[in-house]
Amino acid sequence: MGMKNKMTVADVDIKGKRVIARVDFNVPLDENGNITDDKRIRAALPTIRHIIGQGACLILVSHLGRPKEGPDPKYSMKPAAERLSELLGKEVKLAADVIGEDAKAKAAALKEGEVLMLENVRFHKEETKNDPAFAKELASMADIYVNDAFGTAHRAHASTAGIAEYLPAVSGFLIKKELDVMGKALDDPERPFVAILGGAKVSDKIGVIESLLDKVDTLIIGGSMAYTFFAGKGYSVGTSKYEADKVDLASNLLAKAEKKGVRLLLPVDNVVGKEFDPDTESQVVDSDNIPEGWMGLDIGPKTVELFSEAVKGAKTVVWNGPVGVFEFERFAVGTRNIAEALSAASAVTIVGGGDSAAAIEQMGFSDKITHISTGGGASLEFLEGKELPGIAVLNDRK
């Protein structure tokens, strides 16, 4: 695929140039507008420091949240610009708009090594529509485009893809790292290669399951997805959340795994509850013995052991999606144990963003994981073997 040989910001001479960099500063804010987790800003620091260190003028563009109709102070980039300024120990200017007079005047006035943050790019509906005129306006402020927003690389928006029509386009170091680590796992993994997929819907993950069946030695399935597979095996699943219209598909995937010689592991026991409720009555039952009126909410202890054993013997592990309703404390045990198994493994361990990344971080295991992807959706699409629009548009190395 054409994603590996992309030029990076280290391959271009940017001294004295105006660089517009798309970053993912979509940070969580509390009700007072304070940033509760700045890891996305930190993740972009190597690229930002490189650009200003080379004596370029840096214009940053990002989205934050989902503003509905035009500018909304609730979704201002101000807190992100301030935090970045603290982390860099230097001023970060903030434009009052995105492609308006203030942004353009401030961009034009930038001196070497200075940083300007544009306002939330989603204040314009043209952004998500990948409107060419809007992309061109963004591009007009700069000489070079750098994409370092892995979290939005699977979206073809104006600031993630369209803009590359008008400027030389290269990747930042975060995107490079994401592609290097995950690309190696997919193309040339140390074996055994074990993938763990959890979460809610088989329909969301068919592509990933199919693509991973060609690559892994063991595929582990947990979460409510597992119940669709159980139904495919003819087990009764009680009131478990499963997709009735995906049962045949799940059976086909089981058959495919067998044909390819991939070990496919499903839960052998489950914590089931009466209701979808954090305080519901619960019990542990085997997978072929889920009683009428009960729903699976987590993997059981025998399953934790089975899955952990598989992780222990692995040389490469990829994990995406919780194996239970981890938002409910009592049903987060399975997911926590998987997080723990990964952190203890002597393997290359890759966690694909979203809920699984949150579980790892909550438990303080981040340092023990080789790579925690900064993009949930983007990492899933990458694992599926899809071309990510925000990466496809970048210039190839000569």
Consecutive H or E run containing 380: helix 376-383
- Quote the least distance from Cβ 398 to ligand AMP, whole Å: 39
- Would you say 121 or 221 has its CB closer to ligand AMP? 221
- Quote the least distance from Cβ 240 to ligand AMP, whole Å: 6
Piece of 162-170, 180-188, 193-201, 250-258 that binds ligand AMP (CB under 6 A): 193-201
- Quote the least distance from Cβ 112 to ligand AMP, whole Å: 44
Question: Do residues 387 and 2 make contact, with C-beta atoms less than 8 angstroms apart?
Answer: yes
Instruction: Give the single-character DSSP code of 167.
Output: S
277 binds ligand AMP (CB under 6 A): no
Question: Do residues 335 and 365 make contact, with C-beta atoms less than 8 angstroms apart?
Answer: no
Cα distances (Å, whole numbers) of residue 201 to 22, 48, 209? 31, 37, 12
> CA nearest 111: which of 43, 18, 180?
18
330 binds ligand AMP (CB under 6 A): no
Residue type, 186: L
Among 1, 200, 249, 392, binds ligand AMP (CB under 6 A): 200
- Quote the least distance from Cβ 320 to ligand AMP, whole Å: 7
- Quote the least distance from Cβ 281 to ligand AMP, whole Å: 16
321 binds ligand AMP (CB under 6 A): yes
- Quote the least distance from Cβ 297 to ligand AMP, whole Å: 5
Question: Do residues 242 and 227 make contact, with C-beta atoms less than 8 angstroms apart?
Answer: yes
- Would you say 162 or 199 has its CB closer to ligand AMP? 199
DSSP 237-252: -TT----GGGHHHHHH
Query: Residues touching ligand AMP: how many (CB under 6 A)?
Result: 18
Piece of 102-110, 125-133, 200-208, 247-255 that binds ligand AMP (CB under 6 A): 200-208
Phi, psi of 91 (to 5 degrees): -65, 140
Cα distance between residue 390 and residue 200, in whole Å: 27
Q: Is 201 a catalytic residue?
A: yes
- Quote the least distance from Cβ 17 to ligand AMP, whole Å: 40
Among 178, 243, 355, 381, binds ligand AMP (CB under 6 A): 355
Among 296, 352, 375, 389, binds ligand AMP (CB under 6 A): 296
Q: Is 354 a catalytic residue?
A: yes
The angle formed by the CA atoms of residues 264, 266 and 271, to the nearest 5 degrees, is 165
Consecutive H or E run containing 194: strand 193-197
Among 78, 93, 241, 386, binds ligand AMP (CB under 6 A): 241
Among 114, 143, 204, 275, binds ligand AMP (CB under 6 A): 204
- Quote the least distance from Cβ 120 to ligand AMP, whole Å: 25
- Would you say 251 or 280 has its CB closer to ligand AMP? 280
- Would you say 79 or 151 has its CB closer to ligand AMP? 151
Contacts by 82-87 with C-beta closer than 8 Å and gap 24+?
83/27, 83/35, 83/38, 83/41, 84/25, 84/41, 84/48, 84/60, 84/115, 84/117, 87/38, 87/41, 87/42, 87/45
List the catalytic residue out of 4, 78, 201, 386.
Answer: 201
Residues forming a β-bridge with 93: 116
- What b/e string do you get for 293-316 counting C-beta neighbours within 10 Å, with b at 16 or more? ebbbbbbbeebbebbbebbeebeb
3-class DSSP state for residue 286? strand
Among 78, 104, 136, 201, binds ligand AMP (CB under 6 A): 201
Rg (CA), the chain: 23
Cα distances (Å, whole numbers) of residue 63 to 75, 125, 395? 9, 12, 23
How is residue 211 written in tokens?
Answer: 């693509």
Q: Which of residues 15-54 bind ligand AMP (CB under 6 A)?
A: none
Quick note: the x/- pattern for ligand AMP over 211-240, rule CB under 6 A, is ------------xx----------------
Cα distance between residue 346 and residue 342, in whole Å: 8
As annotated, the active-site residues are 40, 201, 354, 377
The residue ranges that bind ligand AMP (CB under 6 A) are: 198-201, 204, 223-224, 241, 296-297, 321-322, 324-327, 354-355
